[in-house]
A and B are shown apart, each in its own frame.
Chain A
Amino acid sequence: MVENTIHATQAVVTLDIALPGIIWGWMITLNMWAKSIGTGVVMVGAYLLYKYKKEEVSSLRWIMPLISFIALNVFLLFTLVDLHQPYRMVNIFLHPHWTSAITVGAWMASLFTLLMTILMVIGAADAFPGLGGKKCKITALARNNSGLYEKLFPFVVFLAIPVTMYTAIIMAESSARELWQAPTEMIQMLLAALMAGSAALILSSGSWDKEVRKDLSLVLMVAVFASFLMYMGEYFFSFKSSEAEATLAYVHAGGEFNVEFWFGMVLGFIVPFFLAASTIKSDNTTLLRFAAILTLVGLYLAKDVWLKIPQMLPLS
């Protein structure tokens, strides 16, 4: 095949250093995955709170901030643990560099977690009158300021969108990895949040009205369908840049990334789509929960492959 440039020149590396392996590994996958849940439940939860009466989604007011709070803390923990100098994280606040999406994201995510903590405490204090006992000052303060929840909520929903998307900008600022283009990654992050958010709420929707579950199935279906299409578009039709092509070769060529990617696609996108579609008429809660769990597993696998393959490419 001498007509192929690389074969025609027969250029082969005969002495070089060992290249770095994967720099951002599973901790960053987990970080992105947990953040999708943490922001997604707020976006999907906001829609439910807007559309339905309080009785129809009785526990949502405290369950939503609780799930978000847990997921955000997992996200923050792994962000911190992945640093080689975790105690210096404080430098992001003492010496912020505003051109960096890491800085802007860390500030927004911290503010978001703080607001979510307030919503969680108020939501839980209102839902459980006995919580904290009579002497607990925090729950008393929360109950006295119950109205703050509704005042803060629109701002929190608004903030959830950039908190979801900023990781896409970090990926875009990672100029060495051409596979990650800002427009695609921003929409993928948003869709991941809708997938993870609806899946997490489905898992806690047992006592809610069946119309609510129908809505959650629809959100899940639309999100997995759109996200799947985007992955397929990139997988099969990324003809534009040589680096993106070379990166995708690590999945196209078979091997562990190929298996992980297709496992993720089938398990987390194709199967949940049909499962969710089938539950819209039947309101089969068990099947829908199964679809939700598969979505969360598949999303992790897809994110993991997309994070790692560009790091396999030799940069110099």
Chain B
Amino acid sequence: MKLGFLVDLNLCMGCKGCEIACKVENEVPLSSWRLRVKYIDIGSFPNTSRSFTPLRCNHCENAPCERICPVSALHYLENGIVNIDSARCIGCAGCMMACPYGAIYMDPESNTADKCTYCAHRIESGMMPACVVACPVEANIFGDVEDEHSHISRYIMEHQGGVQVRKPEKHTNPKHYYVGGGTQTLDPLAHQRLEGYGLFNNVTHLEHNGDPHHGVLDRFLAPFVGHEKIDNKSFMDFSADQTTSKEGDH
């Protein structure tokens, strides 16, 4: 069994339902994403179109993140899922340097690496991933790519020639496919990120990697003295001086 994903970009309408469902299901903290829907505008006015591309971990068959992880926190499951054991992760960020798709983040609450797991916990109990269930137009298709009768296999066969993966030249052999994609949408070097063109500005780069309140010393002291509790609300008080906030403020 090899589980895979296929997104039909012709169907996706950019509602971000999957993004929200993933956040809720996996309690993904603010400033982090396992799945996001990227909007790309193509063409010059009036001949323009907007495309929506959901991006998540590809569960590569030859995963660079698994290869570089020094403690096997990232590991393959028998069903092909590239899973992560955050209790073992040492937070070296090697996987973030290795994943060619930028699919891994440093969880600011646990200070360990995390990513889309194809909802391995739901699969285990016979459910579909949360993002698949949430999609109103069934653009997300999930299933066993080794079973030729599965929905995803049939979909791939029906759209032969139009099925793509991201960065095939990296030889990662992704198990995440796109139908209806193009170079402009799937190749990050084929579109521009221009200041002032985004629907929301001033949010281009994250200022922190992992817990923003977790300085070098805290990393060593935290197990003994504890450290400021971080939850989603901690990220919402943009104006407050974080260093002077009292315990219980967040």
Which residues of A are in contact with B by a Cβ distance under 8 Å?
5-6, 9-21, 23-24, 81-89, 91-92, 95-97, 99-103, 106, 170, 173-177, 242-243, 246, 311, 313-316
Q: Is the CB of B111 within 8 A of A315?
A: no
Q: Is the CB of A316 within 8 A of B102?
A: yes
Chain B residues with Cβ under 8 A from A23's Cβ? 93, 96-97, 106, 209
- Per the CB 8 Å criterion, the residue count for chain B at the interface is 68
Give Cα A101 to B93, complex, Å.
13
Q: Is the interface of B mostly helix, strand, loop or mixed?
A: loop
Give Cα A24 to B89, complex, Å.
17
Q: Is the CB of B219 within 8 A of A6?
A: no
> A20-B206, A82-B92, A173-B64 are contacts. A12–B38 as well, Cβ < 8 Å?
no
Give Cα A29 to B191, complex, Å.
31
Give Cα A95 to B210, complex, Å.
23
Q: Which residue of A lies closest to B39 (CB)?
A: A15
Task: List 11 additional A-B contacts (Cβ < 8 Å) besides A20-B205, A100-B68.
Answer: A12-B42, A17-B36, A21-B207, A89-B90, A92-B70, A95-B72, A96-B71, A175-B98, A176-B101, A314-B102, A314-B193
Q: Is the CB of A11 within 8 A of B184?
A: yes
Give Cα A14 to B68, complex, Å.
33
> A13-B198, A315-B100 are contacts. A170–B68 as well, Cβ < 8 Å?
yes
Chain A residues with Cβ under 8 A from B33's Cβ? 17
**12 pairs of residues in contact across A and B, judged by CB atoms under 8 Å:** A6-B190, A9-B43, A10-B41, A10-B42, A12-B191, A19-B205, A23-B209, A102-B92, A173-B94, A177-B97, A316-B55, A316-B102
Give Cα A86 to B221, complex, Å.
10
Q: Is the CB of B50 within 8 A of A18?
A: no
Contact with A along B193-212 (1 / 0, CB 8 A): 11001111001111101110
Chain B residues with Cβ under 8 A from A21's Cβ? 205-207, 209
| A-B complex: 10 closest residue pairs judged by Cβ atoms | A84-B91, A315-B102, A11-B191, A15-B39, A175-B64, A102-B70, A11-B184, A174-B97, A103-B70, A91-B71
Give Cα A174 to B97, complex, Å.
5
Chain B residues with Cβ under 8 A from A106's Cβ? 70
Residue in B97, B185, B192 whose beta carbon sits within 8 Å of that of A176 in the complex: B97
> A6-B191, A19-B204, A23-B96 are contacts. A14–B101 as well, Cβ < 8 Å?
no
Chain B residues with Cβ under 8 A from A11's Cβ? 40-42, 184-185, 190-192
Q: Is the CB of A176 within 8 A of B91?
A: no
Answer yes or no: B173 CB below 8 A from chain A CBs. no
Instruction: Give the shortest distance, in Å, between A132 (CB) and chain B (any CB).
Output: 31
Answer yes or no: B149 CB below 8 A from chain A CBs. no
Q: Is the CB of A316 within 8 A of B103?
A: yes
Chain B residues with Cβ under 8 A from A173's Cβ? 64, 67-68, 94, 98
Give Cα A24 to B68, complex, Å.
15
Instruction: Give the shortest distance, in Å, between A177 (CB) and chain B (any CB).
Output: 6
Answer yes or no: B44 CB below 8 A from chain A CBs. yes
Q: Which residue of A lies closest to B91 (CB)?
A: A84
Q: Which of B33, B92, B105, B188 has the most CB of A within 10 A?
A: B92
Residue in B64, B68, B90, B198 whose beta carbon sits within 8 Å of that of A16 in the complex: B198
Residue in A9, A24, A315 whose beta carbon sits within 8 Å of that of B188 in the complex: A315
Instruction: Give the shortest distance, in Å, between B34 (CB) and chain A (any CB).
Output: 11
Q: Which residue of B lies closest to A13 (CB)?
A: B193
